[in-house]
Amino acid sequence: MTQIRANSILPAHREDIELHTADGVTLVGELARPLDRDPVATLVCLHPLPTHGGMMDSHVYRKAAWRLPALAGLAVLRFNSRGTSSVRGTSGGSFSHAIDERFDVAAAIEYAEFADLPDIWLVGWSFGTDLTLMYGLDPAVTGAILLSPPLRFSKAEHLAAWAEDGKPVTALIPEFDDYLRPTEAAERFAAIPQAEVVPMAGAKHLWVGDAEKVLDEIVRRVAPGVATPLPTTWDGPMETGDASAYADRTVAAFDKN
């Protein structure tokens, strides 16, 4: 058995993909699926603020794509929103302060739907949680998992829409978040009666050192048949990613504009 480390890549079928938005923008991404079975559920990942380093390779999503197809049978679709760059490449368009990104969210959901991926869950992180709440209430979407939601761009009407629809919403709230801590989060998310607010002891906005706990919480919601906590060792082939190429550039500061 080999220890699973931060840069461990477990076996999966991985393919570079392109998403094509309704307003004519091409986005770059990757789809990782289990190697030897059909996926039990699908994660569509919406990354943190690109103006502060958020990208499809932000560490929680990178680890999700590298581990969860093998450990939990999940498909993981991650992509760079418009104007965002990572090792995978640069998506077309430019950052739009959560306005034109509506087309990016729609294109990702559409791709997952057309690829016949099952049980599509949106997993938003920081800025990505706003996109999830604003634009993710699609008939093809099973539910949403929100990591460090700042509730910055999303408004009361977006929360009300999720409340009315009834789809499951789980918000993982770091104890020491920069923007929304557990007590206030419980008050704000009371607008969505079915929302589950999960305080994460000791965690901060960027989840440094806590990615494994986040992945466990995600798997518990989207694949309840999978035992958690997930294994920390792997008996089989394993590759090693280039950690320097995937340095976490995300910083916990928002534009004031």
Tokens of 112: 């997952």
Cα–Cα distance for residue pair 237/216, rounded to 1 Å: 22
**What domains lie within the chain, and their CATH numbers?**
16-223 (3.40.50.1820)
- At a CB cut-off of 8 Å and minimum separation 6, what does 209 contact? none
* pLDDT at 106 (0 to 100): 98
* pLDDT at 242 (0 to 100): 78
* pLDDT at 256 (0 to 100): 43
Per-10-residue mean pLDDT for the chain, 257 residues long? 95 98 98 97 97 94 97 98 96 98 98 98 98 98 98 97 98 97 98 98 96 98 98 96 66 53
A 10 A CB-CB count for 179 gives 16
Q: Are 254 and 150 in contact (CB under 8 A)?
A: yes
Q: Are 119 and 222 in contact (CB under 8 A)?
A: yes
A 10 A CB-CB count for 229 gives 12
A 10 A CB-CB count for 239 gives 10
Tokens of 157: 């009407």
50 preceded by a cis bond (ω within 30 of 0): no
Helices (H), the chain: 59-72, 101-114, 127-135, 156-165, 182-188, 211-222
* pLDDT at 254 (0 to 100): 59
Cα–Cα distance for residue pair 102/30, rounded to 1 Å: 19
- DSSP 8-state assignment for residue 129: H
* pLDDT at 253 (0 to 100): 58
Among residues 230, 169, 197, 225, which one has the least CA distance to residue 41? 225
Cα–Cα distance for residue pair 63/42, rounded to 1 Å: 15
